[in-house]
Amino acid sequence: MEQKIRLSQCMIVKNEEKNIERALSWGKDVMWEQIVVDTGSTDQTVAVAERLGAKVFHFPWIDDFSAAKNYAIEQAKGDWIVFLDADEYFLPEDVEKLLPLLEGWQHSAYQAVISGWIQVEKDADVLKGRKEGKLEWLQTVREDGSSGLSLAGTQVRIFRNQPGLRYQGRIHESLVTDQGPVSCVDASRELSVLHTGYSAEEMQGKKKTERNIALLKQELMEHPGDYKILVCLGDSYFQQKDYPEAARWYEKAASCFPASPVQETIQGAMIFKHLLLIYMDIPDEEAVMRSYRKGTACFPKDADYDYLTGRDFALRGHYKEGADHLQRALVLLEQYGSESRSALLSHNLLEAWELLIRCHNENGELNQCVSCAVTVLKAAPYRIEPLKQLLLAFQKEGQASDLQIKAFLGNFYDFQKEEDREFVKTAAQEIIYGESCRDWNSRL
């Protein structure tokens, strides 16, 4: 059966032989055509792309990403264009959603699609993170088993193939139209682009940041005071881990930021989030709170500011302040949902809940601790931290017997199953659940 919608996958490349096969494979089954515009590769990129059946074109590099991308768009014949970089891809479950979603929007006024965007180190990072029950989560999991914040946001990478809809800007280009603002539908909860290009290996091999900084400074000479360019300069130094220089450019961007920003300005919101992360790392508590106040004033629906601030307080042992901010973050996310654009909290939701549970426990707020732990365990019963905090709360309260606790845990675990018994035993042993730990475990 012929596809109702013809999808054109486009990309511009240079020396992407390590990525090009995956770039052309993830969407092979749903793409009507695949267009690769090479800007001067000296490796096997072009040969691999041709072998995989892509239509390969050549465009001389002129220090202008928009020019190269617009050339690629001009070669496309499909109804919609999916424009990802060679170091970006969709997971299989998101690929399956592409055509049905676009068919639903085919006769709408929407010109483009907003998707999620998440920086990952390797494929395994996201394959270890999955939806658990009612809580959607996606958290970076490193090879050593540790976890942390993933760089996340939104991007417009899917759009109609129509005249006048083109890229603008030498670098960190944006999609524009000659008839006014681009009309977008928000699919950031359904689709997420995964990006590996900021990994240490990629950055070292391509020297991306040095190239980006040079191009951005050219742009800044032409558009002085453009906060978007200043943010991108901050991002480039942030990626290099030159945090003082990153802070300097972010502060300049903040000084140029409009007093009444458009709520959807994700790039503007990231100014203050990155400043928070930098000043937390120094640490400079006064600067942290200054950035927090500025961020929440400009973006009152964004829960990430309270999440980051609460996380910082909790990890430094300031549990009262941590609980206040984390509770506020979760309330904001519940109240505004995807409208809040709270990418960091959304993608680290279970970690936020676990930190809140710990804060309540440390504050002696045992009822709140138990309530939050129950919320998480109903959705994700095999998260060991909330189970440990729950057992600690019961231990502190000291009123329930071991058999009563076991009966309570039966809401989440089937003690006829060995794996459930072993999981609960492990949690109990890790917190040394009183002197009765061994006896209680033997009764599971």
> What's residue 409's pLDDT?
94
Joined tokens for residue 127: 């394959």
| 3-state DSSP assignment of residue 57 | strand
Contact criterion met (CB below 8 Å) for 67 and 40: no
Q: Which residues of the chain have pLDDT under 70?
A: 1-3, 121-153, 197-206, 259-266, 338, 432-444
Sign of the C-alpha dihedral computed for residues 330, 334, 336 and 342 taken in this order: positive
pLDDT digit string, tens, across residues 233-279: 998 898 888 999 999 999 999 998 876 655 446 678 889 999 999 99
Contact criterion met (CB below 8 Å) for 86 and 17: no
> What's residue 188's pLDDT?
84
Q: Which residues contact 376 (CB under 8 A, 6 or more apart)?
A: 135, 350, 353, 354, 357, 383, 386
Angle 317-152-292 (CA atoms, 0-180°, nearest 5)?
Answer: 45
Q: Give CA–CA dist 353/189, Å, rounded.
A: 20
Sign of the C-alpha dihedral computed for residues 66, 273, 353 and 127 taken in this order: positive
Joined tokens for residue 216: 């951005």
For residues 411-436, one letter each, b for 16 or more C-beta atoms within 10 angstroms of the residue's C-beta and e for the rest, the string is ebbeeeeeebbebbbebbeeeebeee
Amino acid at 430: E
Strand partners, 185: 113
> What's residue 144's pLDDT?
47
pLDDT digit string, tens, across residues 104-126: 999 999 999 999 887 776 554 45
Joined tokens for residue 370: 């138990």
Nearest alpha carbon to residue 54 among 8, 1, 2, 6: 8
> What's residue 198's pLDDT?
58
pLDDT digit string, tens, across residues 371-408: 999 999 998 999 999 999 999 999 898 888 888 988 99
> What's residue 3's pLDDT?
63
> What's residue 182's pLDDT?
93
> What's residue 401's pLDDT?
85
DSSP secondary structure code for residue 59 in this structure: -
Residue 172 zone, left/alpha/beta (φ > 0; ψ -120 to 50; rest): left
> What's residue 339's pLDDT?
72
Joined tokens for residue 226: 């453009």
Amino acid at 15: N
Q: Residue 278 belongs to what H/E stretch? A: helix 266-281
> What's residue 130's pLDDT?
41
